[in-house]
Chains A and B, each alone.
Chain A
């Protein structure tokens, strides 16, 4: 009976409920961190903190929401870390990046469950998340750091801003691709499923693995 990986609605399950939940835990916490962080980044964006309940509230909540974001990131590491190792097709993907960008998908090697770009996003957020956590703790408890260790503070302000900028770059591309560019992707992380065509077009290796797996279970 289960010779097909299809759901009852004829679509393919891409992300489990747990995966979707963790994704949005990270997503919403990141957006809050991004907005309040941008408010502290530039005087021209300080109004964001005013809109979000006042700059003092933003300053008090930012670190706590940061802990939620890092928690979600670690959950993602637990769920997906093992699936994010670079493979030979990933290297081919980067060589074929121009084709991918120009939507010449027939010239792009087939991807497994995650393509090389998603892996870059994952590891970028994972490592930046760790650095943001460490530097963020220093900024959170700045007043507890003795004068003799002031270079820790000097380093933390630079690390926190730089890592935040790197994640913003990843975030812009991630949101653009997930919503506007790759139609069907946003649904996969909301309702969890994708069409067969979508699965074949973007993650054919993964889809065919599902097929073989289902056949083996029959």
Chain B
């Protein structure tokens, strides 16, 4: 599993081709989160902090188990709790481990202007390279999952790396390693997809969860973190997991058609004024211009613009 997982597929803000792209055979990695067997123990949260050397942040209490409202620049892995009341009046405690989804079409990378600040590896991991990050925060705008977070002290943006440093050494991400119930799995995308579909089928057929399903949103061309949900028809219940995430259309338009329109207009403008100069040349002042004008000063008293003195 370790070989060549750091081969790069896409680079943010990069002019020219991606070196070595498409040369080697490569598989795509995937993290599977089965929310139906999560017990909300937060071992994954702790393992994430431990492995990545992040300091423990101040937690907040809002009458639930949730550590803090959302992930932070130094807290990349957060279980979102929702005490959901079902139609029959019974309570369902929904727990979803929230982190970077490692989109196949990453809005952060599309929005990023800094050369090499965000890379997408061929194995599907989307990774921030803080040494190239300029701290503009465009990735924050581009992400449909509210994941990249700006650090006011570092003035850079941080997020989950899918433990790329472990994955390249043939290890699973730290959160997977710590999970006591086995609700977290790590493998290739086809393996995890098959496992997830199998589990969803079990839930539908044997456990009475008619709407159970796999969350692998096609709006971002799939993700390298996928979920099994008891109710895949309503992912918003799971701490605001978007039902149909896309790269925001304004970001796509800005980085797509508007860029072409703008470039053509700017180059056209420069060529236009140059061509005008070649064709018509400059207006040259005469020593004493007495050219008569239509409706000029001679016939129209200049009362409409009083006081225009420097």
Chain A contact residues, CB within 8 Å of chain B: 13-16, 19, 39-44, 46, 49, 55-56, 58-60, 83, 87-89, 92, 96, 101-103, 105-110, 112-114, 139, 142-143, 147, 150, 153-158, 161-162, 165, 168-169, 172-173, 176, 180-184, 192, 194-198, 200-202, 204-206, 208-210, 212-213
User: Which single member of A15, A39, A56, A210 contacts B135 (CB below 8 Å)?
Assistant: A56
A165, B265: Cβ atoms closer than 8 Å: yes
Bound-complex Cα distance A105 to B296 (A): 12
A110, B310: Cβ atoms closer than 8 Å: no
Q: Is the CB of B39 closer than 8 A to any CB of chain A?
A: no
Residue of A nearest to B151 (CB): A143
Chain B contact residues, CB within 8 Å of chain A: 13-15, 70, 111, 113-115, 134-138, 140-141, 146, 149-150, 152, 155, 240, 248-251, 253-254, 258-259, 261-263, 265-266, 269-270, 273, 276-277, 280-297, 300, 302, 304-306, 308-310
Q: At the interface, is chain A mostly helix, strand, loop or mixed?
A: helix
Closest 5 CB pairs of A and B: A113-B308, A112-B305, A143-B150, A142-B137, A201-B289
- A40 in contact with B273 given A106-B293, A158-B258 (CB within 8 Å): no
Bound-complex Cα distance A197 to B249 (A): 54
Bound-complex Cα distance A40 to B115 (A): 10
B308, A112: Cβ atoms closer than 8 Å: yes
B305, A46: Cβ atoms closer than 8 Å: no
CB contacts (< 8 Å) of A169 on chain B: these are 265-266, 269
User: Can you report 26 A-B residue pairs in the complex whose CB atoms are below 8 A from each other?
Assistant: A15-B310, A39-B113, A40-B136, A46-B113, A55-B115, A87-B304, A89-B304, A101-B276, A142-B137, A142-B140, A150-B248, A154-B249, A154-B251, A157-B250, A157-B254, A165-B258, A168-B266, A168-B269, A172-B266, A173-B269, A180-B273, A183-B282, A195-B285, A201-B285, A208-B302, A209-B305
Which of A88, A105, A157, A206 counts the most chain B CB atoms within 10 A?
A157
CB contacts (< 8 Å) of A42 on chain B: these are 15, 259, 263
Closest Cβ of chain A to B132, distance in Å, is 8
- A204 in contact with B135 given A142-B141, A147-B146, A197-B287 (CB within 8 Å): no
User: Which single member of A157, A165, A200 contacts B251 (CB below 8 Å)?
Assistant: A157
CB contacts (< 8 Å) of A83 on chain B: these are 305, 308
User: Which single member of A55, A87, A155, A161 contacts B114 (CB below 8 Å)?
Assistant: A55
Bound-complex Cα distance A166 to B183 (A): 53
Residue of B nearest to A92 (CB): B295
A195, B280: Cβ atoms closer than 8 Å: no
CB contacts (< 8 Å) of B295 on chain A: these are 89, 92, 109-110
